[in-house]
């Protein structure tokens, strides 16, 4: 059958519309694959504990804490152990954008020293991601203690915009890949907190870190103290919602890195049966049962999936 010009145009437009719809579905599916969900009934919760003076508490027992999961109080745990028994899977993120160009040489030296001189367990894994310009770059994955990784760090130069959120999202994807369920994941972020170009948003990367249970330790890259701004708010938010710590500008970075490593080795990990409803977002909070002055840091939510 011979088609008229009008019929040809109509078929072309219909085909174009279907192609656009299928492409949108594909992109949505790809983005959804990055969302880390719990598909089992067991919840694993890593946390840090301190007394009312902020000193780390290292002698907690299972009976000293309870968990509030969406309002349900959990007192019986499947397991409870010190975080030092779990290997670390750590990603260091370095802001290499123009906004912090003057700080980059010092940060490179401090990170190289931290990686090379810290006491690591043979099972610990360390990765480095840099971000500046249009996208994040994986400098080394899970093995950054070799000479090649050190040379790559030394050659780092500042460039362009600040894809901060995209870099954190890439870190979450990396930590999810070949994930050891017994490891404790974490990120150390060097940045001024001012994202300028990312495709992802603050809520995206917070949810990804929470579901992976990756504490974010943020270190403000500005060398001098200044008035609080939007960047400080972002860095504080990331740490508070994932169980990490936020360090303002003007700190002695080697001391801060030592404090972070001590914090990661001094926490606890517990597991429990997910209560009632398993799908959707759950809010979680650690509660003291014996000493009301105890303070805890952990992720504040996770997404369960039936």
Secondary-structure class of domain 41-306 per CATH? alpha beta
C-beta atoms surrounding 148 within 10 Å: 11
- The whole-number pLDDT of residue 5 equals 52
How does pLDDT run across 114-143, given as a tens digit for each residue?
A: 999 998 999 999 999 999 999 999 999 998
**Angle 9-14-17 from CA coordinates, rounded to 5°:** 125
Predicted TM-score (pTM) of the model is 0.82
Residue pair 23/260 in contact (Cβ under 8 Å)? The answer is no
Residue pair 181/46 in contact (Cβ under 8 Å)? The answer is no
Q: Phi-psi category of 126—alpha, beta or left, where left has phi over 0 and alpha has psi -120 to 50?
A: beta
- The whole-number pLDDT of residue 141 equals 94
C-beta atoms surrounding 230 within 10 Å: 11
- The whole-number pLDDT of residue 178 equals 87
Q: At what angle do helices 253-265 and 104-117 cross, to 10 degrees?
A: 40
Element (H or E) spanning 275, and its range? Answer: none
- The whole-number pLDDT of residue 241 equals 95
42-50 and 295-298 strand pairing: antiparallel
Q: What is the DSSP string of 139-156?
A: EESSB--SHHHHHHHHT-
How does pLDDT run across 34-91, given as a tens digit for each residue?
A: 333 444 588 999 999 999 998 999 899 999 999 999 989 999 999 999 999 999 999 9
Domain ranges of the chain: 41-306
Q: What is the pLDDT along the chain (306 residues), one digit of tens a residue?
A: 455 555 554 554 445 444 443 444 333 433 433 333 444 588 999 999 999 998 999 899 999 999 999 989 999 999 999 999 999 999 999 999 999 999 999 999 999 999 999 989 999 999 999 999 999 999 999 989 888 888 999 999 999 999 999 999 999 999 999 888 889 999 999 999 999 999 999 999 999 999 999 999 999 988 776 657 899 999 999 999 999 999 999 899 999 999 999 999 999 999 999 987 677 889 999 999 999 999 999 999 988 864
- The whole-number pLDDT of residue 229 equals 85
- The whole-number pLDDT of residue 203 equals 94
CA 56, 60, 62, 65 torsion-angle sign: negative
**Residue 130, CB-side half-sphere exposure with 13 Å CA sphere:** 24
């Amino acid at each position: 059958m011979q088609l008229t010009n009008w019929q040809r145009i109509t078929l072309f437009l219909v085909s174009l519309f279907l192609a656009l719809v299928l492409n949108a579905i594909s992109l949505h599916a790809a983005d959804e694959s990055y969302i880390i969900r719990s598909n089992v009934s067991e919840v694993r919760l890593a946390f840090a504990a301190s007394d009312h003076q902020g000193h780390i508490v290292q002698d907690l027992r299972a009976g000293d804490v309870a968990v509030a999961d969406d309002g349900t109080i959990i007192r019986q745990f499947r397991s409870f152990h010190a975080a030092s028994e779990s290997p670390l899977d750590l990603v260091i993120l370095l802001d290499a954008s123009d906004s912090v160009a003057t700080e980059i040489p010092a940060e490179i030296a401090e990170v190289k020293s931290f990686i090379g001189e810290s006491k690591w367990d043979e099972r610990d894994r360390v990765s480095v991601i840099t971000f500046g310009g249009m996208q994040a770059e994986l400098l080394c994955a899970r093995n950054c203690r070799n000479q090649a990784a050190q040379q790559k760090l030394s050659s780092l130069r500042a460039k362009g915009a600040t894809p901060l959120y995209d870099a954190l999202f890439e870190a979450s994807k990396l930590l999810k890949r070949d994930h050891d369920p017994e490891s404790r994941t974490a990120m150390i972020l060097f940045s001024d907190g001012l994202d300028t170009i990312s495709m992802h948003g603050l809520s995206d990367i917070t949810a990804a870190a929470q579901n992976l249970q990756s504490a974010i330790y943020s270190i403000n890259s500005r060398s001098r103290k200044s008035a609080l701004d939007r960047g400080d708010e972002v860095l504080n938010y990331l740490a508070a919602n994932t169980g990490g710590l936020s360090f303002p500008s003007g700190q002695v970075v080697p001391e801060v890195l030592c404090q972070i490593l001590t914090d990661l080795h001094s926490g606890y990990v517990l597991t429990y049966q997910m209560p009632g409803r398993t799908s959707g977002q759950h809010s979680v909070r650690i509660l003291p049962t014996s000493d009301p002055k105890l303070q805890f840091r952990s992720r504040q939510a996770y997404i369960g999936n039936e």
